[in-house]
């Protein structure tokens, strides 16, 4: 091959390289020129058969062509890569003005939310929040509340008895009612007193409106000249605030050993029955009454000087009624969709 032809080969090769637009075509041409059976490789193979003086000059020229072609291939490859990257960036634009995707946040369980709400309402009416233990002695859960040993009322409570004994060897129970807080608070603070206490209570019982662990709110007001009318007023005010409307309530005489007279309050509950129809029934939500003089005496308050009223509310039932939960048990199954549906955003909890 003459020098002229070599320079034509070089020119044509460079021209083709720069006309190619894909890495694949570029690779194809590289093989065609520089591959094992490539055109330029072929020329290098002929060097051996040339006379020595020609071999040197021709070899130098072929090598120069090879270098030029190799460089041109690399340059074109770089160019094509840069174009491809630019196109990719253009088609995959990232819109940094889009709002971030929301973080998965938990919700406050309706029972927890309602307990806070009850505290808020009762504090507004003038009651202070106190706490009572869940592991309780027989004395605070029963005896001091005028329910002595062998009293038939003990049987109504389906008590969970504990193996533990307290430091005086007294039998312990899981409290069956928040009324233990009445005794603790009167013993600690005396009279006059206006306290409320919300928390867990336990009875071995389970159906649509009972769970072995549930929640109560206790209210206790002890002062001079306290009457049944004060109690009715506070309870009506409390229920109206809680349901944010004037609810229908009825008072039925009822027996609790620690009050005299005693009553139960039912409120009207409209719910969707299994067959889809709307039904109305009365649901018992709280027990109340004038604090029995024996209870005042047991807690160190003089019944000749002070009177009081007390009430105990089923927190879970209030929650069912307010938020339309039909089966009490679903509230304690740790069901996340349930909590998402009925729960509250932390930011919205009113304080
Ligand atoms: N402790 C009672 C119960 O659990 C309710 C109650 C409280 C009744 C206070 C009267 C006074 O059923």
**Looking at domain 110-348, which of 1.10.1280.10, 3.30.930.10, 3.90.1410.10, 3.40.50.920 is its CATH number?**
3.30.930.10
For residue range 321-339, list pLDDT tens digits in order: 888 887 888 888 888 888 8
Whether residue 351 is predicted with pLDDT greater than 60 in this model: the reply is: no
What atom in ligand 1 is closest to the CA of residue 177? 4
How far is Cα of residue 150 from the mean position of the Cα atoms in its chain? 45
User: What band does 3 get if pLDDT is binned at 50, 70 and 90?
Assistant: low
Opening angle at CA 225, ends 220 and 230, nearest 5:
55
Does the C-beta of 315 come closer than 6 Å to ligand 1? no
Contacts of 314 (CB under 8 A, 6+ apart): 214, 215, 216, 284, 285, 286
Report the C-alpha gap between 315 and 294 in whole angstroms.
Answer: 27
**Ligand 1 pocket test: which of 222, 238, 287, 314 has the largest number of ligand atoms within 8 Å of its C-beta?**
287
Residue identifier of the C-alpha nearest atom 7 of ligand 1: 312
pTM score over 0.85: no
What would the two tokens of residue 229 be? 């009318």
Report the C-alpha gap between 70 and 144 in whole angstroms.
Answer: 101
Whether residue 350 is predicted with pLDDT greater than 60 in this model: the reply is: no
For residue range 234-245, list pLDDT tens digits in order: 999 999 999 998
Provide the pLDDT for residue 96.
83
For residue range 45-60, list pLDDT tens digits in order: 888 888 888 888 888 8
Provide the pLDDT for residue 69.
92
Provide the pLDDT for residue 348.
66
Domain segments of the chain as ranges: 3-91, 110-348
| 147 to 158, 227, 344: CA distances (angstroms) | 14, 23, 39
């Amino acid at each position: 091959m003459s020098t002229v032809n070599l320079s034509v080969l070089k020119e044509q090769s460079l021209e083709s390289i720069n006309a190619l637009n894909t890495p694949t075509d570029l690779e194809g041409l590289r093989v065609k020129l520089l591959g094992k059976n490539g055109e330029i490789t072929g020329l290098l193979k002929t060097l051996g058969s040339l006379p020595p003086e020609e071999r040197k000059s021709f070899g130098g020229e072929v090598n120069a062509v090879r270098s030029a072609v190799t460089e041109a291939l690399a340059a074109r490859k770089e160019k094509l890569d840069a174009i491809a990257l630019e196109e990719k960036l253009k088609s995959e634009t990232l819109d940094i003005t889009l709002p971030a995707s929301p973080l998965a946040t938990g919700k406050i369980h309706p029972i927890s939310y309602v307990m806070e709400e009850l505290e808020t309402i009762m504090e507004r009416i003038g009651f202070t929040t106190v706490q009572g233990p869940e592991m309780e002695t027989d004395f605070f859960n029963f005896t001091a509340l005028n329910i002595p040993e062998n009293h038939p009322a003990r049987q109504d409570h389906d008590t969970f008895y504990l193996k533990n004994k307290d430091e005086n060897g007294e039998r312990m129970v899981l409290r069956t009612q928040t009324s233990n807080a009445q005794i603790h608070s009167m013993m600690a603070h005396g009279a006059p007193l206006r306290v409320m206490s919300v928390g867990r209570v336990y009875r071995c019982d389970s159906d649509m409106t009972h769970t072995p662990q549930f929640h109560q709110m206790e209210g206790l007001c002890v002062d001079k000249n306290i009457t049944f009318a004060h109690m009715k007023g506070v309870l009506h005010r409390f229920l109206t605030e809680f349901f944010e409307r004037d609810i229908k309530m009825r008072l039925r005489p009822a027996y609790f050993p620690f009050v005299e007279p005693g009553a139960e309050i039912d409120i009207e509950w409209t719910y969707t029955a299994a067959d889809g129809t709307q039904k109305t029934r009365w649901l018992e939500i709280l027990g109340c009454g004038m604090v029995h003089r024996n209870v005042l005496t047991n807690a160190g308050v003089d019944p000749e000087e002070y009177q009081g009223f007390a009430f105990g509310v089923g927190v879970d039932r209030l929650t069912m009624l307010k938020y339309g939960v039909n089966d009490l048990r679903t509230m304690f199954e740790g069901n996340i969709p349930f909590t998402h549906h009925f729960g509250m955003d932390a930011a919205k909890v009113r304080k």
